[in-house]
Amino acid sequence: MDMNWSPADAAFRDEVRAFLDEKLTPDLRAAGTLRTSVYSDHEASMTWQAILHERGWAAPAWPVEYGGCDWSQSQHYIFSRESILAGAPSLSPMGIRMVSHAIMAFGTEEQKNFFLPGILDGSVFFCQGYSEPESGSDLASLSMAAVDDGDDLVVTGSKIWTTHASEANWIFCLVRTSRQERKQQGITFLLIDMNSPGIEVQNLVFASGEQVQAQVFFDGVRVPKKNVLGKIDDGWTVAKYLLVFERGGGAAAPALQVMAEQLGRDAASVTAPDGGPLSEYPAFAAKLTDLQVRAKILEVLEYRALAAMTSGKDPGSIASMLKILGTELSQEITTLSLEAAGPHGRVFQPHATRPGGPIFQYTPPTDGYVSGEPWQAVAPLHYFNDRAGSIYAGSNEIQRNILAKAALGL
């Protein structure tokens, strides 16, 4: 792939840089730069989405007729990379990157007209109701029930690992509407108003002290049938379509390239066993170079998925490949970052005890970072948060099974 920008691409890059310089406040840059997972601070993320929406850049990968941008693939890449380099907060993927595409493909005109503009301007903020306490990677085993009652479905059960459930005003859910021969049958895809009576959100506290995810309980929640996306009992079709965009609907390569480049700069400040900078120590430099090459390869593969997505097509099984490559590469980068941080990366201290050992909680130093650099102190948070990457959106073992069937015919 020729990565020499054309004059038009260079002009677009300068336009993006000028926009970011003007609109990114110090607080927004800090929220983007200091995030410890795929999610930025919620308030900062929504503020940034409003700014992007005003410019028409909130959902550039959407088809143009729904508010996306008529950009070339190189422009999509430039925008992603420049945003990350500038420290822009990430936007929540549940609406813009995930359920929006399912609504475009399966929604009624009424659903499209209501949800898509709201997702763009932030007035409709979705969380995802897929996993249950007994149904994770084997998602089709879910049991949260929805009983037919006239014009409504009455929902009872719970969902877990629901990111931003406390902030969301809508949740897209998979529910069990019937028991059939195959467990994938009898599942319905529902769009549920989080302000409905009978919904309770209980936040889950991470070891780091963060409260990003929650368990959501549904007790006789009435959902109008007009909020079914697709057909009753055929929600698995919608869910599989959405998962393609969750797994391969974003551009991970620019972020991973920036992470690897930043790691090289950070490692230059660390002393290696031979007395020189760690970034030039042969064993470390070889690992870092391998990660940087793999990030470039991922970029080429993502272009293929992006070309399909921006034209409204299903990227297909390539999404599973991108999910595997992207999450495992990210894990290796954060592992190497933790290795570079060395003893200064010890930020988890015993917070309390319980049978079986201590509970560990992250407590930021009250007087700044007493020893080491800020990147060294947060390296463990990046490392531990990244372990979830190969599990969410369908574990990477599941993705390899999908590829075995789709690509190899096994």
Tell me the average confidence (pLDDT) per consecutive run of 10 residues in the chain, 410 residues long: 74 96 92 73 92 95 92 86 88 91 95 96 95 82 94 96 93 94 91 97 77 92 97 93 67 81 89 89 93 87 67 66 86 90 63 41 45 69 77 78 79
Q: What pLDDT, on a 0 to 100 scale, did the predictor assign at position 208? A: 59
The bridge status of strand 213-224 relative to strand 152-159 is: antiparallel
Q: What pLDDT, on a 0 to 100 scale, did the predictor assign at position 33? A: 72
Burial (CB count within 10 angstroms: exposed 0-12, middle 13-18, buried 19+), residue 211: exposed
Question: What's the token pair of residue 340?
Answer: 């570079």
pTM of the model: 0.76
Q: Which amino acid is at 142?
A: L
Q: What pLDDT, on a 0 to 100 scale, did the predictor assign at position 250? A: 55
Distance CA 375, CA 379 (A): 6
CATH code for residues 251-408: 1.20.140.10
Beta-bridge partner residues of 199: 218
Residue ranges of domains in the chain: 7-91, 126-238, 251-408
Q: What pLDDT, on a 0 to 100 scale, did the predictor assign at position 290? A: 94
Helices within 193-314 (DSSP H only):
235-248, 252-267, 282-309
Q: What pLDDT, on a 0 to 100 scale, did the predictor assign at position 74? A: 82
Q: What pLDDT, on a 0 to 100 scale, did the predictor assign at position 315? A: 60
Map tokens 């570079």 to a residue.
340
Q: What pLDDT, on a 0 to 100 scale, did the predictor assign at position 360? A: 41
CA end-to-end distance (rounded Å), the chain: 32
Interaxial angle between packed helices 252-267 and 374-386, expressed in degrees from 0 to 180 and rounded to the nearest 10: 140
Q: What pLDDT, on a 0 to 100 scale, did the predictor assign at position 215? A: 96
* In this structure, CATH architecture of domain 126-238: Beta Barrel (2.40)
Question: What's the token pair of residue 304?
Answer: 């293929």
Same fold, 126-238 and 251-408: no
Q: What pLDDT, on a 0 to 100 scale, did the predictor assign at position 307? A: 63
- DSSP-based three-state secondary structure for 353: strand
- DSSP-based three-state secondary structure for 323: helix
> Are residues 257 and 295 in contact, defined by beta-carbon separation less than 8 angstroms?
yes
Q: What pLDDT, on a 0 to 100 scale, did the predictor assign at position 246? A: 65
Distance CA 98, CA 131 (A): 16
18-66-128-383 Cα dihedral, nearest 10 degrees = -30
Q: What pLDDT, on a 0 to 100 scale, did the predictor assign at position 135? A: 81
Q: What pLDDT, on a 0 to 100 scale, did the predictor assign at position 99? A: 95
Distance CA 288, CA 263 (A): 8
Q: Which of 374, 367, 255 is nearest to 322 (CA)?
A: 255
Q: What pLDDT, on a 0 to 100 scale, did the predictor assign at position 107? A: 96
Max CA pair span of the chain? 75
Q: Which of 74, 115, 79 is nearest to 98 (CA)?
A: 115
Neighbours of 64 (CB within 10 A): 13
